[in-house]
């Protein structure tokens, strides 16, 4: 179940600050106090700007601006730098990245000028995170290096450790796992031995994450476990429940669903205590995933529904995307009984799954989760393909291919960036070495390195492109094959399996009644009919003559089998050269079958089915009429419309292939009976 595995992605947590209503309320209360000295007022304003950033950045921005005004009036440059920093932070939370960058840079410049190292570090730290989020990893890294250098000089172990963690996280994004690991380990060592161990625990968790990414789940679990131990069993710690959820996800991916469930439950309890609704929803989604993997679909659907109701109150596109995608997959995979028990309609299975996955897709687009968007599009395509709606499936598949290219493109961009950065690093090293050597050879080597890089890059791109093109061509071909395959399937479906088994049954009955002559006669006709169907199944179009022959063979068999006798009347326009007029094979058969079994078999009067074919202009007008019981009689639902639906689909295919598409279908009531008007393009000598 590939769609289950991507759902709960790991968050690289740097600082878990939850702006709490209580904190901002109390700060605002203090701000109202009369006669507050400016310095305290300024501190309160910047604090408010900071705390509001995570809950309500628009308000945070106002406080930051107030702080900036006050600090400028009072020439308080250190708080001014902080206020710049928080203004940027609020812009960042509002998604206005370029403004955020501008204000971070102002904060950094001011702090550097005034040598307010802490402020400079804080602003650079934020800016680096912003660059990292925007995928600008080289900028993020170069800023991060400076932060690390400054922090090392500051002897602020906690912050150094956190910054090293962030450095590792950037390398993790770049899929440079060895470097990421090195930084995380440094972060762990740098963390202060006593006091606040959050930095060390984050480092442990991140090391686990690297191992997970490197495909070493056992090692990952080991480090996660170590971190979990560090958190201890006490209290309601959201960082711990986050870790538990991450561990649970990994267990679930390892197929250890029971362990996953137990961890999700623990995390759920903690998050419930803390009232952390995103966490609650995430854990419930995870539990649902585990339950459906264990095929306990009832419990799974319960979890999904609970998660859904929580997310209604605390909307989170990311979490919703995960929930709906897993839910949809569960609906697709669960057996009928479980589906019914959960209150779903069995026939509505694919549509329910499709609707949910569609919702998930919308949220994936909202949160720009390209990879999920790609997977969901693929999932939707598969559903449509399963429903034999190949045109839609093809369209979705095209989107999927496009998305996949984008995702792969991101990967290759990252890979290229990595190369570029490696090159920068190498160049510096080279320059360092070559300072001792002659200028001439230095140029040579740099040139050679550049040429080599170009060559390698070009080669890599070439191989990538070739592989991509090949894959794309292949999948297009496969889909085209699926379309023609669908046509064949449709053809095979045309012959109602009931007919085949009822025929065999009739033969048996003749034998039991010792009417062997009749049995033999029926059998030889039946064999001929099967042979024709077999031959037609490879053809898109066949001569009308062959169709009429096969149809009359079919009717002959039905006439033998039916208790009530009926006439079969064929009236073909004598002008029509039936050997040189082409129609899709077995296109009339379902209607004749409907007439016989839904109309005539119920009618008391002498029945007939009449097939009329005339050419009018560039179309072939065909009608199939009977004088049977008609449509108003309550009938086995679905069967008559099933043949109709298949024929509609075939006509649509026919129309889409021919530009002079005229194919159409009309069912009308007669007194008594039913008529079907089938219009087909007149295909003779081709234009």
Partner 1 sequence: MIRAVIIDDEIHAAERLADLLAHYCAAGVTLAGHALDAAAGLALIRDTKPDLVLLDIHLGAATGFELLEQFPDPDFSVIFTTAYEQHALQAIRFSALDYLLKPVDPDELVAAIQKKTNLAARAPQKASLELLFSNMRFHNQGLAKIMIPTMHGFELVNIPDILRCHSDVNYTTIHLVNGDSFLVAKTIGEFEHLLASHHFYRIHQSHLVNLNFIRRYHKGKGGIVVLQNGLELPVAARRKEGFLQKVQSLL
Please state whether beta strands 619-626 and 664-669 pair in parallel, antiparallel, or not at all (unpaired).
unpaired
Give 357: exposed, middle or buried? Use CB within 10 Å, 0-12, 13-18, 19+. Answer: buried
Please, which residues bridge with residue 619 across strands?
616, 681
Dist CA 566 CA 220 (whole Å): 75
- We find the least distance from the C-beta atom of residue 384 to partner 1, in angstroms, to be 23
Smallest separation (angstroms) from partner 1 to the CB of 591? 24
In angstroms, give the least distance from the CB of 264 to partner 1: 52
- DSSP-assigned states of every residue in 288-348: HHHHHHTT-HHHHHHHHHHHHHHHHHS--HHHHHHHHHHHHHHHHHS-HHHHHHTT--GGG
At 478, list the tokens: 């496969």
Q: Give the nearer residue to partner 1 in terms of CB position, either 391 or 442.
A: 391
Q: Crossing angle of helices 257-274/238-253, nearest 10°?
A: 160
Cα(534)–Cα(528) distance, integer angstroms: 10
Residue closer to partner 1 by CB (options 355, 488) is 488
The helix (H) or strand (E) run that includes residue 18 is none
Rounded Cα distance, 522 and 516, in Å? 10
Q: Which one, 612 or 684, has the nearer CB to partner 1?
A: 684
* Between 38 and 520, CB nearer to partner 1: 520
Nearer to partner 1, 413 or 531 (CB): 531
Torsion angle (degrees, nearest 10) of CA 260, 261, 264, 268: -170
| Burial per residue of 554-583, b for 16 or more beta-carbon CB atoms within 10 angstroms, e otherwise | bbbbbeebeeeebebeeebeeebebeebbb
Minimum CB distance to partner 1, residue 370 (Å) = 33
155 vs 686 by CB, closer to partner 1:
686
Token pair 């442990």 in the structure block, residue = 204
- Residues 403, 295: Cα–Cα separation, whole Å: 31
Pick the closer one to partner 1 by CB: 434 or 523. Answer: 523
To partner 1, the closest distance from the beta carbon of 484 in angstroms equals 9
**How far apart, in whole angstroms, are the C-alpha atoms of residue 234 and residue 337?**
42
DSSP-derived letter for residue 599 is: I
Task: Select 351 or 520, whichever has its Cβ closest to partner 1.
Answer: 520
DSSP string, 149-176: HHHHHHT-HHHHHHHHHHHHHHHHHTT-
Residue with smaller CB distance to partner 1, 523 or 572: 523
Footprint of partner 1 on this chain (CB under 8 A)?
Answer: 517, 520-521, 523-525, 527-528, 531, 540-541, 580, 657-659, 684-687
Positive or negative CA dihedral for 188, 192, 194, 195? negative
Task: Give ∠ CA 85-91-93 in degrees, rounded to 5.
Answer: 105
* Residue whose CB is less far from partner 1, 312 or 534: 534
Token reading at 388: 């034999």
What's the closest the beta carbon of residue 575 comes to partner 1, in angstroms?
15
User: Which of residues 526 and 591 has its CB atom nearest to partner 1 in the complex?
Assistant: 526
- DSSP secondary structure letter of residue 605: S
Q: Which is nearer to partner 1, 522 or 588 (CB)?
A: 522
CB nearer partner 1, residue 557 or residue 674: 557
Least distance between partner 1 and beta carbon 520 (Å): 7
Nearest to 452 by CA among 411, 431, 423, 425: 423
List, as one string, the DSSP characters of 86-137: HHHHHHHHTT-HHHHHHHHHHHHHHHHHHT-HHHHHHHHHHHHHHHHHTT-H
């Amino acid at each position: 179940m590939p769609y289950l595995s991507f759902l709960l992605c790991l968050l690289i947590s740097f600082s878990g600050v939850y702006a709490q209503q209580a904190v901002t309320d109390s700060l605002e209360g203090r701000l109202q106090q009369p006669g507050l000295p400016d310095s305290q007022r300024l501190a309160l304003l910047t604090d408010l700007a900071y705390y509001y950033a995570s809950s309500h950045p628009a308000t945070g921005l106002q406080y930051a601006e107030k702080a900036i005004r006050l600090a400028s009036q009072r020439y308080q440059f250190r708080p001014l730098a902080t206020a710049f920093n928080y203004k940027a932070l609020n812009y960042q939370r509002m998604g206005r990245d370029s403004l955020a960058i501008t204000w971070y840079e102002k904060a950094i410049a001011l702090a550097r000028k005034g040598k307010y190292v802490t402020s400079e570090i804080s602003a650079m730290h934020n800016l680096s995170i912003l660059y990292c989020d925007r995928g600008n990893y080289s900028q993020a890294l170069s800023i991060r290096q400076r932060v690390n250098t400054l922090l090392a000089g500051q002897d602020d172990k906690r912050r150094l450790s956190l910054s090293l963690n962030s450095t590792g996280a950037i390398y993790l994004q770049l899929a440079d796992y060895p470097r990421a690991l090195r930084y995380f380990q440094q972060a762990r060592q740098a963390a202060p031995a006593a006091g606040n161990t959050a930095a060390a625990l984050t480092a442990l968790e991140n090391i686990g994450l690297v191992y997970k990414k490197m495909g070493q789940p056992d090692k990952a679990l080991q480090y996660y476990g170590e971190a979990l131990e560090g958190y201890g069993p006490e209290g309601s710690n959201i960082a711990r429940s986050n870790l538990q959820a991450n561990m649970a996800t990994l267990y679930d991916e390892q197929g250890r669903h029971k362990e996953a469930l137990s961890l999700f439950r623990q995390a759920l309890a903690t998050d419930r205590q803390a009232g952390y609704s995103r966490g609650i929803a995430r854990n419930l989604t995870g539990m649902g995933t585990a339950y459906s993997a264990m095929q306990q679909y009832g419990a799974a659907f319960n979890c999904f529904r609970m998660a859904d109701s929580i997310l209604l109150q605390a909307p989170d596109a990311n979490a919703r995307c995960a929930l709906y995608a897993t839910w949809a997959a569960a609906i697709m995979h669960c057996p009928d009984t479980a589906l019914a028990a959960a209150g779903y309609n069995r026939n509505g299975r694919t549509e329910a799954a499709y609707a949910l996955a569609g919702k998930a897709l919308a949220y994936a687009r909202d949160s720009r989760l390209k990879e999920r968007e790609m997977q969901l599009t693929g999932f939707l395509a598969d559903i449509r393909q399963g429903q034999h709606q190949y045109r839609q499936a093809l369209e979705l598949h095209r989107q999927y291919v496009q998305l996949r290219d984008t995702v792969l493109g991101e990967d290759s961009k990252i890979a290229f960036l990595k190369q570029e950065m490696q090159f920068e690093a190498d160049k510096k090293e080279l320059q360092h070495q070559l300072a001792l050597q002659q200028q001439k050879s230095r140029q040579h080597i740099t040139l050679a390195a550049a040429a080599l890089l170009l060559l390698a890059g070009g080669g890599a791109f070439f191989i990538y492109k070739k592989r991509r093109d090949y894959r794309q061509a292949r999948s297009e071909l496969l889909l085209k094959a699926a379309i023609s395959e669908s046509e064949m399937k449709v053809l095979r479906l045309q012959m109602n399996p009931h007919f085949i088994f009822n025929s065999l049954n009739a033969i048996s009955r003749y034998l039991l009644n010792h009417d062997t002559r009749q049995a033999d006669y029926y059998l030889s006709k039946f064999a001929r009919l099967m042979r024709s169907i077999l031959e037609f199944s490879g053809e898109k179009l066949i001569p009308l003559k062959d169709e009429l022959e096969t149809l009359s063979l079919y009717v002959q068999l039905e006439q033998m089998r039916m208790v009530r006798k009926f006439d079969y009347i064929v009236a073909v326009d004598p002008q029509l050269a039936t050997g040189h007029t082409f129609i899709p094979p077995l296109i009339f058969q379902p209607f004749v079958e409907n007439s016989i079994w839904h109309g005539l078999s119920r009618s008391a009067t002498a029945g007939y089915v009449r097939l009329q074919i005339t050419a009018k202009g560039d179309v072939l007008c065909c009608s199939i009429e009977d004088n049977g019981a008609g449509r108003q009689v309550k009938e086995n639902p679905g069967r008559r419309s099933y043949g109709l639906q298949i024929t509609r689909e075939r006509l649509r295919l026919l129309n889409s292939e021919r530009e002079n598409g005229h194919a159409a279908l009309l069912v009308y009531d007669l007194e008594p009976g039913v008529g079907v008007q089938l219009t087909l393009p007149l295909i003779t000598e081709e234009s």
